[in-house]
Structure 1
Amino acid sequence: MNHDIRLVIADDHEIFRDGLALMLSRQPDITLVGQANNGRELLELLETVEADVVMTDLKMPLMDGITATRTLLQRLPHIRIIALSMFDEEELIVEMLEAGAKGYLLKNADKQEIIEAINSVYEDNIFYCKQTSARLASMIVRSRFNPSRDNAPVTFTDREKEIIRLICQQFTAQEIGEKIFLSKRTVEGHRTRILEKMNVKNTAGVVVFALKNNLISEAELL
């Protein structure tokens, strides 16, 4: 990394925005370069400051996060955008991903996940919130959002496919090992390689990738 990740936060809830800004101001390698109260302010701000990553609320006055994302990426396609969402905004999350966001977080995400998301999208990866519901995963799969569309096809061994299905069904490494007669450490090694092949960071990403690429059916998740 040649410089700190330059971050902008857009959210109309000042207390939430200030709290997030304070937390991230103490984080090495991340520099907060600006804050905005709505989508219109966000676009105006980014005419005067350079940013690498934008974290934006979905619902804001004057201009919402989805409209701002579409406009912003037309002007500055290099910027990585993370949507900030509430639990009941699944349809809006899908719209945000279709608009070009690189990931999303629920507003109750912990510090570690927030930092992981920022670093992940900065490196041009997709970040799925760890609390992604099965319903949201299915909605993403049915949407126009397809981050692996332009990538080379990924192949998996039969063993990896077996482990992918078990990961999607929420089994731990220990439980997977007991089911397929492998050590926990061996399963964890397989899991690491699977995440690398899929270019995802967590189980939620595995589920979306697996559904999108027909490695598991929705019925198998129930």
Structure 2
Amino acid sequence: MNYDIRLVIADDHEIFLDGLSLMLSRQEHIALVGQASDGRELIEIVAKEKPDVVMTDIKMPYMDGISATRQIIRTDPDTRIIALSMFDEEDQIVEMLEAGAKGYLLKNADKQEILEAITSVYEDGTYYCKTTSSKLASMIARSKFNPYRKKEQVAFTEREQEIIQLICQQLTAQQIGDRIFLSKRTVEGYRTRILEKMNVRNTAGVVMYALKHNLIREEDLML
């Protein structure tokens, strides 16, 4: 990458914030331009630094991440926001997405997934945590959050639709190939094209896209 992603992060847990900041500051394509420990401070830093991407905790003192996200998006709709959450914050994750966030990560996400999420939202995509539960996927599917509303409708072949359904059932490329009599490599090629068409990064993204576009039913989920 030949560009710097201007990034601001916010979390009220100092040890977590310092650790995340240290890791991100070492990435050549990321310019860490600010840190905040609460929602009010986050809004001030974003207004001053004009970051491309914001990563923010949901629960913070003085002003939470949901309220801060609403205000940031109201002022600058082009700011890409990623919610940082705990396992038991499903309702708040949905609220964050409805407030304008482009994706979410659990706080135990590894380095690779964190960087992947930042890159994805920076490139005007969305990012759904790899460990998204079927319950959360269903909640998001029923929510007002719909990042695909203004995008051109994508057409999928019958074979692609078949593979989408099998991906959503958590089958591996080998298992899908065995099921529909294709080689693992051929299935992987289909999967790559499907992700590109959907502009998503992982299985959770495929599931969310498929739910929003009625390519699968909620009862078929096996996340």
TM-score tier by shorter-chain length is over 0.9
Q: How does 1:78-117 map to 2 (within 5 A)?
A: 78-117=78-117
How many Å separate the matches in 1 of 2:201 and 2:84?
18
Provide the C-alpha distance between the structure 2 equivalents of 1:67 and 1:129, rounded to a whole number of angstroms.
Answer: 22
Residue aligning to 2:35: 35
The answer for the alignment partner of 2:70 in structure 1 is 70
Q: Is the 8 A contact 2:11 2:36 kept in 1?
A: yes
Query: Cα deviation per residue 1:72-122 (whole Å; 9 max; x = unaligned)?
Result: 111122211000000000000000000010110000000000000001100
Letter in 1 for 2:185: R
Q: Is the Cα–Cα contact under 8 Å of residues 58 and 85 in structure 2 kept in the other structure?
A: yes
| Deviation (angstroms), 1:2 | 6.3
What is the CA RMSD across the aligned residues, in angstroms?
Answer: 1.0
Residue of structure 1 in register with 2:124 after alignment: 124
Letter in 2 for 1:41: E
Secondary structure of the equivalent of 2:47?
A: coil
Instruction: Give the superposition deviation at 1:26.
Output: 1.1
Comparing 164-173 with 42-51, greater Cα deviation is found at 42-51
Report deviation, 1:50.
2.7
**2:121 alignment partner, SS class:** helix
2:216 is aligned to 216
1:133 maps to 133
Give how far 1:220 is off: 1.6
Q: What percentage of aligned pairs have identical amino acids?
A: 73
- Cα distance in 2 for partners of 1:2, 1:51 equals 17
Length-normalised TM-score, structure 2 = 0.97
Partner of 2:57: 57
Matched position secondary structure for 2:152: coil
Counterpart residue type for residue 170 of structure 2: Q
1:48 to partner: Cα distance: 2.2
For residues 21-32 of structure 1, the aligned pairs below 5 Å read: 21-32=21-32
CA shift at 1:28, angstroms? 1.1
1: distance between equivalents of 2:47 and 2:185?
A: 49
Give, in whole Å, the separation in 2 of the partners of 1:171 and 1:205: 15
CA distance in 1, matches of 2:47, 2:216: 44
Q: Output the CA distance in 2 between the equivalents of 1:116 and 1:152.
A: 24
Q: Distance in 2 between matches of 1:60 and 1:2?
A: 34
Q: Retained in 1: the 8 A contact 2:69–2:99?
A: yes
Instruction: Report what 1:13 is aligned to.
Output: 13
- The answer for unaligned runs of 5 or more in structure 2 is none
1:14: how far off? 0.5
Offset from partner CA, 1:136-190 (integer Å, 9 cap, x none): 0000000000111111111111101110010000000011001100001100010
Per the TM alignment, residue 199 of structure 1 is displaced from its structure 2 partner at its CA by 1.2
Deviation at 1:3, TM superposition (A): 3.6
Match of 2:48 in 1: 48
Letter in 2 for 1:128: Y
Asked if the contact 2:2–2:29 (Cα under 8 Å) also holds between the matched residues in 1, the reply is no
Residue type of the alignment partner of 1:15? I
Q: What residue is the counterpart of 1:158 in the other structure?
A: 158
After TM superposition, where is structure 1 displaced by more than 3 Å over at least 4 residues in a row? none
Matches of 1:220 and 1:119 in 2, distance apart? 30
Instruction: Look up the equivalent residue of 1:98 and give its one-letter code.
Output: E
Match of 1:168 in 2: 168
1:125 CA drift (Å)? 0.2
Structure 1, gaps ≥5 residues long = none
